[in-house]
Amino acid sequence: MMPRIAYCSPVNPAASGISDYSEELLPYLAQYADITLLVDDGLHPTNPFLRQYLTIQPLRKLEHFVRRGAFDAIVYHMGNSPVHARIWQSAQRIPGVVVLHDFVLHHFMLWYAANVQRDVQRYVTMMRTRYGDEGWHVAQLMIRSRFSAAAFNFPCNEDVLAAAQAVIGHSRHILDRVAAIRPDLPRGLVPMGIPLPPLIDRNEARQRLGIPLDRPLLASFGHINAWKRIEPMLRALALLRREGIDAHCVLVGSVSPNYDLDSLIWRLGLQTAVTVTGYVPRTQFEYYVAAADICFNLRYPTAGETSASLLRLLGAGKPTLVSAVDAFCELPPDVAAQVDVDGSEIDLIVAYCRRLLSDRSLAAALGARAREYVATEHTLPGAAQAMIRFLADVYGWPPPRLIHPQPLWDPTPVCEPEPVETSAPTITAPAQPSLLIQSAARAAAEIGLTEDDTDALRSVAVRINELTA
């Protein structure tokens, strides 16, 4: 008999990488099980295949379905983002298997206390009770919007793990850290699967983007904040240019309002050497990946996550630099160049870039090995198979078998050609925000909003626009 799984996860339009993750995994997981997708009340999935092939229910009905014995397993996807609030509430009441995408849930717990419980002192009390005076001190900084890297030392995940029947992680790193807190908890390693990205010709991509064919190009992708090691990367770029290497850098992604990127670029004198694109559509994103000579996926500190964006860069066959920390250390040495996050960081970036830019055959070999690694170790069929096998072990099912011989749908995004700007955006000095915007920003910070609170910030922006129209 086909097992019945309650699959609790954000999906698009909920702004989360886990939305993309689930939409790519579900057509493969549904080959083995009857899946009901449970989502936030009022969320209407934009992916038509979800509505066509799966039963979709609001999370508020989960308890009702469980009382009726409607499911053989419950899977909760938990990450460090406000979109998991309802999932967190359900997982506390009804135990299930937690897919822990981030080991550190600190920022989520602060947001939850401020915006759902509307009592930030509950967060402060939790930090002091659980972590002592050091935790209390960090909590005082955080509630005053003095966001500190020290927050990553306090995971605030104990309640999630206490209620879980089992945990799935995408790295040995995260499962080892879970074991240190709850050694009795069953743990399953499930590789993160992604669709293998298309191979796009470098010169074709550059022609579409208006980038000179002979320009050495470095690129970083994803939301831009202090933890993405942008400053060491740009300092390395400045050193390369002083050596006579006419390298440029493109930063593809939105910029955190808490990160003064413009000032950094001006201080380093890189106004003509750095392009900041902001958010770009999927097709344009893939053209920038293809156009790059070297890609960067530097992060420190981390929340213990496995980076889907990194896997997409590796899968595209690009030589990539990663920070030598946490789950990133599990990458084979011939798949990505690992950069220590100590005093040698900038020197290592410079040395790697100098070598990869001068030795094209080495860069091509590193990219080819990266693509081969993703194509064999991070497939969607492999991820679905590993997850269903672990669930079978936890719940005592017979060995899983394929009910549907093919995935229910093809999750590979259909990227229609889009007009691409042929002139690179320029860096301009940041304009002074109006007093209204400054006041709104202070108020948002005081209640604990961060750049991850997309829906709330969008509502604030709409209201400011109405008031200033």
Mean pLDDT of 304-329: 96
Q: How far is residue 157's CA from residue 169's CA, in Å, rounded to a whole number?
A: 14
pLDDT averaged over every residue in the chain: 90
Neighbours of 99 (CB within 10 A): 25
pLDDT at 317: 98
Mean pLDDT of 122-127: 97
Which position has the higher pLDDT, 433 or 90? Answer: 90
Residue-wise pLDDT for 34-74, tens only, equals 999 999 999 999 999 999 999 999 999 999 999 999 999 99
pLDDT at 148: 81
| pLDDT tops 50 at residue 431 | no
Q: How confident is the model at residue 464 (pLDDT cuts 50, 70, 90)?
A: low
Q: What are phi and psi of 158, to 5 degrees?
A: -60, -40
Mean pLDDT of 79-105: 96
* DSSP structural state of residue 99: E
Residue found under tokens 């980038």: 211
Asked if 73 and 4 count as a contact pair (C-beta separation under 8 A), the reply is: yes
Residue found under tokens 């630099």: 321
Residue found under tokens 């078998």: 401
Residue found under tokens 């005053």: 144
Q: How far is residue 451's CA from residue 455's CA, in Å, rounded to a whole number?
A: 10
CA dihedral angle for residue 254, residue 314, residue 83, residue 384, rounded to 10 degrees: 160
pLDDT at 469: 45
| pLDDT tops 70 at residue 416 | no
pLDDT at 427: 37
Asked if 340 and 348 count as a contact pair (C-beta separation under 8 A), the reply is: yes
| pLDDT tops 60 at residue 432 | no
Cβ-defined contacts of 454-461 (< 8 Å, 24+): 454/15, 455/15, 456/82, 456/115
The strand pairing partners of 294, in sequence order, are: 218
Q: Is residue 167 within a helix (H) or strand (E), and if so which, with residue range?
A: strand 166-169
Q: How confident is the model at residue 413 (pLDDT cuts 50, 70, 90)?
A: low
| pLDDT tops 70 at residue 459 | no
Going by C-beta distance under 8 Å and a sequence separation of 6 or more, which residues neighbour residue 438?
none
